[in-house]
Amino acid sequence: MAKRSYDFYFTRLMYDSGDWDVDIRMPSNVLNSLVEYTTLKVDPAERVVALSDPKMLEAPFCYLAGHKLVQFTPAERKNFERYVRGGGFVFVDDCNHDIDGLFAKSFEAELARMFGPKALHKIPNNHPVYSSFFQFDGPPNTGNELNGWGDDLVHDYLKAIEFDGRVRVLYSNKDYGCEWDYDFRNKRWLVIDNTRFAVNIIQYALGA
């Protein structure tokens, strides 16, 4: 790992297939929350790095999302697997919030190809990711689920791939990216800040 002047920087993974450039206001909103709630030294700028670029292997945290087909190139697949097996952390968000959607089916097929068909599994709602900073009793619901978009289900779980007892890929069909995609100055209108769970995810990732 290269020496970093920040405790945390947000890395979005760009991949050749699909639509990786979604929820463009979300990273700045999440970064603002880290500054607000934690003592981390945070780079305020989102970094976009190609999954095929070895630079992504240095990131403390990576985000990958989309709506469409995910079909990794050999270089992308190699880096993803190397990063995860080497102790990296990827938060993957299905923007369709649909377990039968194109993103879900194609991305899960990629995971099965790299890590085996049984590697991805549901995590319990008392998993440490739900208590790494704020306390949750499971994955917070999103407005898109409650409004009946996608598969018209409220997903009461997240999935993960784990190595050595730690989550290395955290996978959501809940579309958190869209839920957190607003100007951070609008958070003052929320009764409860819905980006608090993003803080949990990142604090867990940094503790890996």
Mean pLDDT of all residues in 4-29:
93
Residue 104 in this model has a pLDDT that exceeds 70: yes
pLDDT tens, 55-84? 999 999 999 999 999 999 999 999 999 999
Tokens coding 118: 């049984």
Instruction: Give 109-147 pLDDT, tens digit per residue.
Output: 999 999 999 999 999 999 999 999 999 999 999 988 877
Is the pLDDT at 158 greater than 80? The verdict is: yes
Q: What pTM, to 2 d.p., does this model score?
A: 0.94
* Structural contact between residues 109 and 80, judged by C-beta atoms closer than 8 angstroms: no
